[in-house]
Chain A
């Protein structure tokens, strides 16, 4: 129980009466002091009784409009209080949202005249996790404001805040989900390992530990068992997080899907103990890099960096556009008619391939892939996670890896699937998706290249369903 200034004012009056009673030698003033103190005690008794009864009978509720939201969503919370008993106190109830939530102060008050009150307020949830409300803070004051008491009463609802990450990820080819785990690789070699491969005759020099005694007894000659050799494949992961990867609704952008794929690949590499390096590619160039290595700390570092990737911003002169490759330029140049002045002026521009080379070398993804593949001795597997915006650059990046006899796995986020949230013409979306699929197939047909699409499963299903009535599925 806290006492207020008013309480102390009353006590001062009582003490002054005592002082003057003693000073003037008059009993009547001491009686006055006794009455004032008796009144204070009676008020205090009344307050204690009211507060005790309210503690037993007060009904305080905090109710949430939803119990599960995504990060940055807003929910409504209703704070209600009901005093089922007749009382003389003033009761103020304040909601106590979790520290991780953001809301305005919300409170409601009941008193002798009003025994029921309710208020609704908005809460924003900026942090993911499960959070529990504290019990509402109930402050009881007496009608004269001499005393106050604070206590915690009422319900404590909880809220689960989910991060804005894609939940239904489609990784596949032409709308078909890929079932096999990405990251496993066949070596085609035998040796010591765990997976049995073949049984062969013992030759001098083989370790006796490798003799398969069952096969030897059965075949009457010493035999040894070979196992699938386990090798480490050096993998370079290239994650594109340029501005074009920021397309899509919050939490379901291209980068969000690409990030999930990248995280799965890192986890897979860790399980297989594959040396893994990585490059993050922004609009200004390489934003993060790590040379291929193993070890829990290395994988954890890459995971953390991938988790914090955000789309970079592109300058006004860096708007991606579909540009011609040298082969396409030469083909078009051949189609030009040299007889017209227009064609004869245009032809040199198509033939000037040196500008093309300079331009490509400035492209961040190409540059990162070139550096990353050169960094590795021997065979490298390049995994590129990007979108279909910079197609020429992607083709050239793949070529660079192929020159190193490397294997390339490309995960592409089709722009049309992410832009289609705002589009109503599903037929047009399907046309764009078909055009993307042609590009993906073109990449997948290249030697040593696997290309997959990555997108929201429901969007892929919607787009493919749109084609079924026309027999295009």
Chain B
């Protein structure tokens, strides 16, 4: 006898996708376990387990968000730049590994690496004093870049004219 089947609400189902479990991502997560243990011992391992569980059950972005909150727990209040870079490295590598699971995505991986480096560098360089301008800047620059890519695609496909062709 089968019981009632439970299904996700439609809006959840359309926004949910599975993380891509591949050899690259798995290797990065094993490396991250070592890093977490080195940073906070058993607490670090628990945080790592939470991240991995999220990674397996939810989209990759959810595990990145959980990892950021986990880093708040395992890192000291004012960590050194080197420590932050080391702690964020597995997250960046996880994102890149996920992207590289796609076919012909190495260029996308390069772009992601560059953008990640710029993001981390700018945030760390500006420091704690200008959090709100940094927050606005991150969202604004991200939105603008996304819009420009959108326009670029439309011009490439010939769906809109670029500035040079407008009389």
User: A residues near B, CB below 8 A?
Assistant: 1, 4-6, 8-10, 13-22, 24-46, 48-52, 55, 86-88, 112, 143-145, 149, 151
Contact = CB atoms under 8 A, between A and B. Distances in A.
A112 B103 contact: yes
B104 A31 contact: no
A112 B99 CA distance: 14
30 contacts: A1-B150, A1-B153, A5-B15, A8-B15, A13-B64, A13-B65, A14-B139, A25-B131, A26-B72, A27-B84, A28-B75, A30-B123, A31-B120, A35-B95, A35-B119, A35-B120, A36-B61, A36-B64, A37-B119, A38-B115, A39-B60, A40-B142, A41-B146, A43-B99, A46-B99, A46-B105, A48-B149, A51-B157, A87-B103, A112-B102
A45 B132 CA distance: 28
Nearest to B78: A27
**3 closest A-B pairs (Cβ-Cβ)?**
A34-B119, A32-B68, A46-B108
Contact of B102 (A33, A36, A38, A46): A46
Interface in B88-121: 88, 91-92, 95, 98-99, 102-105, 107-109, 111-112, 115-116, 118-120
Nearest to B85: A31
A87 B157 contact: no
B138 A37 contact: yes
Contact of A151 (B14, B59, B123, B159): B159
Interface of B: 11, 14-17, 59-62, 64-65, 67-69, 71-72, 75, 79, 84, 87-88, 91-92, 95, 98-99, 102-105, 107-109, 111-112, 115-116, 118-120, 122-124, 127-128, 131-132, 134-135, 138-139, 142, 145-146, 149-150, 152-154, 156-157, 159
Contacts of B102: 46, 88, 112, 143
Contact of A13 (B62, B79, B107): B62
A313 B15 CA distance: 61
Nearest to B117: A38
Contact of A32 (B65, B122, B145, B146): B65
A38 B112 contact: yes
A151 B124 contact: no
A43 B162 CA distance: 23
A41 B142 contact: yes
Given A30-B131, A35-B116, A39-B95, A88 B105 contact: yes
Given A9-B15, A51-B157, A87-B103, A22 B146 contact: no
Report whether over half of chain A's contact residues are helix, strand or loop; otherwise say mixed: helix
B105 to A, nearest CB: 6
Contact of A31 (B68, B132, B153): B68
A51 B16 CA distance: 23
Contacts of B15: 5-6, 8-9
A39 B112 contact: yes
Nearest to A54: B157
A36 B99 CA distance: 12
B156 A87 contact: no
Contacts of B146: 40-41, 44
Nearest to B141: A37
A60 to B, nearest CB: 14
A35 B119 CA distance: 7
B132 A22 contact: yes
Contacts of B122: 34
B88 A35 contact: yes
B44 to A, nearest CB: 15
B9 to A, nearest CB: 12
B117 to A, nearest CB: 9
B149 A31 contact: no
Given A28-B72, A32-B67, A37-B119, A42 B99 contact: yes
Contact of A30 (B87, B138, B145): B138
Contacts of A112: 102-103
B153 A52 contact: yes
Contact of B91 (A29, A35, A88): A35
A39 B149 contact: no
A25 B92 CA distance: 22
Contacts of B99: 39, 42-43, 46
Q: Which of B60, B88, B112, B124 has the most CB of A within 10 A?
A: B112
Contact of B153 (A8, A40, A51): A51
B61 A30 contact: no
